[in-house]
């Protein structure tokens, strides 16, 4: 149960940063933090994470909500897998954070600018790390089950 506190904290951090940064930065303005490596650049992302599939942002609302419902439905299985137990709340918080933006503004607020990669936000970090942890958790769990079956 405490692990879902992580989801609320991550969602809070995401929404707080998206609330705060537009008060200090103009849209599409950059502030260099680490030259050539990290900038803050406030952008309106009408696509998916990292700007993929621009213009189809309403498609992502039902997909994100379906993902969250799936995770909730599988919560009993997930809580038995340590990596998945960490990944699920992060991924759900990230998905919900971006859904909130899409519903309120019609776009997602992105601001973490890695010039050689993309511009993203706290929610995107949660989605990526969460999905990786979920995938690894399920992979290792499945492998452990198969190894146990093969030994008998």
CB 138 within 8 A of CB 77: no
Q: CA 144 to CA 84: how far, in whole Å?
A: 14
pLDDT mean over 3-19: 93
* Lookup: tokens for 52: 């993929």
Is residue 38 a part of any domain in this protein? yes
Residues 6+ apart with CB under 8 A from 82: 137
Count CB-CB contacts under 10 A for residue 90: 25
Note if 110 is an active site residue.
yes
Q: List the catalytic residue out of 14, 101, 113, 124.
A: 124
pTM: 0.85
Each residue's pLDDT tens digit, 73-115: 988 888 889 899 999 999 999 999 999 998 999 899 999 999 9
Q: Is residue 13 a contact partner of residue 90, using CB atoms and an 8 Å limit?
A: no
Q: Name the average pLDDT for the chain.
A: 87
Residue 43 inside a domain? The answer is: yes
pLDDT at 41: 96
Domain region containing 103: 3-118
Give the pLDDT mean for 51-75: 78
Choose among 31, 63, 71: nearest CA to 47: 63
Does 124 qualify as catalytic in the annotation?
yes
104 domain-assigned: yes
Q: Does 89 map to a domain? A: yes
| Nearest CA among 108, 117, 93 for reference residue 39 | 117
Using one digit for the tens of pLDDT, what is the confidence trace for 113-142?
999 898 999 999 999 999 999 999 999 888
Catalytic residue among 14, 110, 113, 152: 110
pLDDT value for 149: 59
Domains identified in the chain, total number: 1
Residue 114 lies in a domain: yes
Residue 146 domain-assigned? no
Q: Do the domain assignments include residue 9?
A: yes
């Amino acid at each position: 149960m405490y692990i879902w506190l992580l989801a609320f904290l991550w969602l809070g951090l995401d929404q707080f940063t998206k609330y705060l940064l537009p008060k200090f930065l103009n849209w599409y303005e950059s502030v260099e933090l680490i030259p050539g490596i990290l900038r803050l650049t406030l952008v309106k992302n009408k696509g998916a994470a990292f700007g993929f599939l621009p213009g189809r942002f309403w498609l992502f609302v039902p997909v994100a909500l379906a993902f969250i419902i799936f995770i909730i439905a599988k919560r009993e299985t997930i809580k038995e897998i340590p990596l998945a137990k960490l990944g699920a709340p992060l991924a759900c918080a990230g998905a919900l954070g971006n859904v909130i933006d899409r519903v309120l503004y019609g776009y997602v607020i992105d601001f973490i600018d890695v010039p050689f990669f993309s511009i993203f936000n706290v929610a995107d970090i949660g989605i990526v790390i969460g999905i990786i942890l979920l995938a690894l958790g399920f992979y290792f769990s499945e492998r452990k089950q198969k190894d146990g079956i093969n030994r008998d």
